[in-house]
Amino acid sequence: MKISGGIGISVFALLLILMPLLIACSGDEQEKPAPSAEPTIEPAEDIILTIGVITDETGPAASAYIDMDMALADMVKHYNEEDIIPGIELKVITYDGQYDSSKDIPGYEWLKKTAQT
């Protein structure tokens, strides 16, 4: 009796899908200790994480980018107010690229210089 190619490929694909599930199951009965919910290392001082963004604020695509800029500003404000990342303060700096690709490299250099100060 000959198995058709489609059925053979289907069985092979099913075995490939099930193999990781079978390999992942182990008979190890040791219980691993649960990680503690409290952080063990406290930062010595607050860290400011700067997010640099090159967007179009005055060019032809400004009306589309304004929503993304506001969403990022709202997210950073929420993270800072709620202290979601303990010891980290987020800061956003923006560069107006005016939807001109020739301003990308100068914008990146300006953001890098501004973020270091």
Domain ranges in the chain?
51-116
Q: Are 32 and 74 in contact (CB under 8 A)?
A: no
For the purposes of burial, counting CB atoms within 10 Å of the CB of 40, is it exposed (0-12), middle (13-18) or buried (19 or more)? exposed
Query: pTM (2 decimals)?
Result: 0.59
Q: What is the mean pLDDT of the chain?
A: 83
In tens, the pLDDT along 14-67 reads 777 777 766 655 555 666 666 666 666 666 677 999 999 999 999 899 999 999
For the purposes of burial, counting CB atoms within 10 Å of the CB of 88, is it exposed (0-12), middle (13-18) or buried (19 or more)? middle
Backbone dihedral angles phi then psi of residue 93, each to the nearest 5 degrees: -120, 140
